[in-house]
């Protein structure tokens, strides 16, 4: 993950359903023929509208002014109203004996919207207006510090570079304060989403979200906790080590040696990834022979060159080059003449071949990984381009993120960096611990954060957490799962969840928790297919065309089959498993256990 990073919303566009009133007193019961015709009509109409909506959304994201916000809100309102009517109409065929493909499409129609509107006049328009306003508030947020006006980009640079705890706290609090005005709009959006979800037969919007994984909602919630249980002991050892090093650096007055870690000290605005403080926690007796940020700059890399390198990685797996329109239409750097959404995302505007990425790339190791990740979305989108419209998607949303992250694992591996000429030689095993520690600070440190975002929203949607308790509940979960705490008491009107893009934009987040597990599961399977015999963390997939062919076969399935079948097509496994992650980091886990023998771990 890279702060806020994901593919674009696959916004469904649905046309209105015209329900004919039968002349006969007894309406004809729906049958399989009618169900199939209904689905075919829905797919044709939503596919036609979706390109329009996607183009409007692209313009709004890359040129934020009142007019583009208005256009986007109107398009979203049309989509939401149409989608809601189609979802309700699909329920008419419940219990009808239909073929498996039609049955799956009907179910996907009912689950397609993250935020369904109530089927009443004005509901879709109000929801779209709120959603657009929250998105714009986040994208354009700024705050004053040190006589300057800071954007999130500016603040993120401070969080990574500064080691002054007073400055870190001030910048952290400054950014989080920008979310305060969002709370009332967010609470209203939750109420509208629940009303829409209940109209589709769900208890609340959270249950609708959990229904999208080819298993009962309660089973999916339990599955995420099971996977977290595999990882938690390792995470706690990493937390214990990092906290001790922060205490060594800052002292008891800033970061005590026991208890939670101060969230602003971890090198990231949301403490979701800790790679920014590697210099503080690096092992003193083991040095790295290179720093990817420096290597890229010394090699004369530009944002475009990073993207072309990412393209070359996929080409080495046997994928066709990106279309010329990709280079003409993508946004790779932040424009200086307008407001944009810098959150990196991948788009297929016409659901066929208009592939693009939108990002504000900088030449550094983090964005080198971002490039490989976002292109993974584009290649996935192209692989399932021939599927029917309702099957144009990842096997589940975690798959889409995991495919990009799978490439990112290779992108950060010294083996790959040597293969493409960025470093002259692969370092020896003595540098494994620094490499794995850097990786764990981003990959493992992220996992509890990836889990708790939607756990908080599930509580909000269910009514367990009311608006007056939004912030307190947020920090209860962050302390419980992450072991982090704010740098000081939070104001009574704070809305810290809104300082995270995916909350403001209502993007489901459990996909990232799944992806950060799946990527290691896929990596282990791919390395076995390639015949790799060494440690898992030294395996690069660059040039492995046989792996690429098998990977593409899974990607081409799109969402046409339940995700366990898609997973089995590539890895031979049918459930999420953190064993690949544990194997990848095993040398580091042994080393951490030795480092923290005298520490009092936990919080």
Q: What is the pLDDT of residues 566-588, one digit of tens each?
A: 999 999 999 999 999 999 999 99
Selecting among 213, 401, 537, 578, the annotated active-site residue is 401
pLDDT at 411: 87
Q: Is 373 assigned a catalytic role?
A: yes
State residue 14's pLDDT score: 35
Q: Which of 176, 202, 239, 373 is catalytic?
A: 373
Predicted pLDDT at 191: 97
- Are the C-beta atoms of residues 136 and 69 closer than 8 Å to each other? yes
pLDDT at 267: 97
Q: In the chain, what is the straight-line distance between the N-terminal and C-terminal CA atoms, in Å? A: 25
Residue with tokens 């000081």: 488
Q: Under 8 Å CB-to-CB from 240, ≥6 apart: which residues?
A: 592, 596, 599, 601, 602
* Annotated active-site residue in 43, 195, 374, 519: 374
Place of tokens 């397609």: 112
Mean pLDDT of 372-391: 96
Q: Would you mind telling me the total number of residues written for the chain in this entry?
A: 603
What integer pLDDT is reported at residue 3 of this predicted model?
A: 42
Q: Report the predicted TM-score, pTM, of the whole model to 2 decimal places.
A: 0.89
Stretch 220-233: mean pLDDT: 97
| Lowest-confidence region among 14-18, 499-503, 551-555 | 14-18
Active-site annotation holder among 2, 202, 372, 377: 377
Q: Report the pLDDT averaged over residues 395-409.
A: 93
Q: Is 32 a catalytic residue?
A: no
Q: Mind listing the pLDDT tens digit for each residue in 16-58? A: 333 333 334 456 788 999 999 999 999 989 888 899 999 999 9
Predicted confidence (pLDDT) per residue in 253-283, tens digit:
999 999 999 999 999 999 999 999 999 999 9
Q: What is the C-alpha separation between 204 and 215, in angstroms, rounded?
A: 17
Distance (Å, whole) CA 204 – CA 189: 13
Query: Is pLDDT of 71 > 50?
Result: yes
Q: Tens digits of per-residue pLDDT, 232-244?
A: 999 999 999 999 9
Nearest to 496 by CA among 61, 98, 214, 180: 180
Using a pLDDT cut of 70, give the percent of the chain over it: 96
* pLDDT higher than threshold 60 for residue 356: yes
Residue of 239, 372, 400, 502 with catalytic role: 502
Domain boundaries, the chain: 32-141+184-212, 144-178+219-289+438-504, 301-420+510-572
Among 389, 512, 542, 584, the active-site one is 512
Quick: pLDDT tens for 98-154. 999 999 999 999 998 888 888 889 998 999 999 999 999 999 999 999 999 999 999
Distance CA 324, CA 335 (A): 21
Nearest 5°: CA angle at 357, between 356 and 359? 155
Q: Indicate which residue of 202, 239, 343, 537 is catalytic.
A: 343
* Mean pLDDT, residues 309-329: 97
At residue 261, the 3 state secondary structure works out as strand
Per-residue CA distances from 314 to 12, 271, 308, 358, 512 (Å): 28, 31, 10, 19, 22
Check residue 29 and give its pLDDT. 82
Return the pLDDT at 2.
Answer: 43
Residue with tokens 């611990």, as numbered in its chain: 433
Region 337-359 average pLDDT = 94
**H/E segment holding residue 377:** helix 365-383
Give catalytic status of residue 344 as yes or no: yes
| Separation of alpha carbons 159 and 172, rounded Å | 8
Is 137 in the active site?
A: no
Q: What is the mean pLDDT of residues 414-435?
A: 94
Among candidate residues 205, 344, 504, 505, the one labeled active-site is 344
Residue of 405 and 20 predicted with greater confidence = 405
> Does residue 372 have an active-site annotation?
no
| Structure confidence at residue 315 (pLDDT) | 98
pLDDT at 374: 96
Confidence of residue 86 (pLDDT cuts 50, 70, 90): confident
Given a contact cutoff of 8 angstroms between Cβ atoms, the answer to whether 106 and 35 are in contact is: yes
As a dihedral over the C-alpha atoms of residue 475, residue 477, residue 483, residue 489, rounded to 10 degrees, the angle is 10
Average pLDDT of the residues of the chain: 93
Residue 345, SS3 per DSSP: strand
Tell me whether residue 343 is one of the annotated catalytic residues.
Answer: yes
């Amino acid at each position: 993950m890279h702060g806020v990073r994901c593919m674009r919303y696959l916004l469904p566009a649905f046309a209105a359903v015209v329900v004919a009133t039968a002349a006969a007193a007894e309406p004809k019961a729906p049958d399989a023929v009618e169900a199939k015709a209904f689905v075919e009509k829905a797919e044709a109409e939503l596919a036609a509208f979706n390109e329009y909506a996607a183009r409007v959304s692209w313009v709004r994201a890359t040129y934020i002014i009142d007019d583009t916000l208005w256009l986007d809100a109107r398009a979203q309102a049309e989509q939401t109203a149409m989608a809601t009517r189609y979802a309700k109409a699909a329920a008419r065929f419940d219990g009808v004996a239909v073929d498996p493909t039609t049955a799956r499409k009907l179910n996907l129609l009912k689950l397609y919207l993250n935020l369904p509107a109530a089927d009443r006049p004005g509901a879709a328009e109000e929801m779209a207006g709120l959603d657009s306003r929250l998105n714009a508030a986040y994208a354009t947020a700024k705050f004053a510090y040190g006589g300057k006006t800071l954007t999130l980009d500016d603040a993120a640079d401070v969080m990574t570079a500064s080691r002054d705890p007073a400055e870190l706290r001030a910048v952290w609090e400054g950014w989080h304060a920008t979310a305060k005005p969002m709370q009332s709009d967010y609470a209203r959006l939750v109420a509208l989403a629940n009303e829409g979800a209940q109209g589709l037969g769900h208890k609340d919007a959270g249950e609708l979200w959990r229904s999208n994984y080819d298993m009962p909602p309660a089973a999916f919630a339990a599955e995420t906790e099971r996977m977290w249980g595999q990882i938690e002991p390792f995470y706690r050892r990493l937390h214990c080590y990092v906290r001790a090093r922060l205490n060594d650096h800052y002292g008891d007055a800033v970061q005590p040696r026991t208890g939670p870690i101060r969230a602003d000290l971890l090198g990231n605005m949301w403490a979701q990834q800790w790679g920014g403080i590697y210099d503080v926690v690096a092992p003193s007796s083991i040095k790295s022979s290179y720093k990817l940020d420096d290597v890229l700059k010394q090699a004369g890399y530009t944002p475009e060159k990073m993207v072309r390198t990412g393209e070359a990685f996929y080409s080495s797996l046997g994928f066709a080059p990106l279309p010329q329109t990709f280079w003409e239409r993508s946004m790779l750097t932040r424009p200086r003449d307008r407001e944009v959404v810098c959150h990196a995302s991948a788009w297929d505007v016409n659901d066929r071949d208009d592939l693009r990425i939108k990002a504000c790339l900088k030449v550094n190791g983090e964005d080198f990984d971002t490039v490989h990740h976002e292109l993974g979305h584009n290649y996935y989108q192209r692989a399932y381009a021939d599927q029917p419209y309702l099957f144009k998607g990842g096997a589940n949303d975690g798959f889409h993120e995991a495919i990009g992250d799978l490439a990112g694992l290779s992108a950060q591996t010294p083996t790959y960096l040597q293969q493409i000429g960025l470093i002259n030689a692969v370092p020896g095993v003595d540098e494994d611990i620094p490499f794995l520690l850097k990786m764990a600070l981003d990959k493992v440190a992220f996992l509890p954060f990836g889990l708790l975002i939607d756990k908080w929203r599930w509580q909000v949607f269910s009514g367990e957490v009311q608006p007056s308790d939004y912030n307190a509940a947020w920090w209860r979960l962050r302390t419980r799962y992450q072991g982090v705490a704010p740098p000081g008491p939070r104001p009574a009107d704070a809305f810290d969840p809104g300082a995270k893009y995916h909350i403001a934009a209502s993007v489901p987040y459990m996909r990232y928790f799944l992806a950060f597990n799946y990527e290691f599961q896929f990596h282990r399977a791919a390395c076995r297919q390639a015949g790799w015999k060494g440690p898992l963390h030294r395996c690069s997939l660059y040039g492995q065309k046989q792996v690429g062919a098998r990977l593409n076969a899974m990607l081409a399935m799109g969402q046409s089959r339940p995700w366990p079948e898609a997973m089995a097509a590539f890895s031979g496994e049918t459930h999420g498993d953190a064993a690949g992650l544990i194997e990848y980091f095993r040398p580091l886990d042994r080393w951490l256990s030795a480092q923290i023998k005298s520490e009092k771990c936990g919080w």
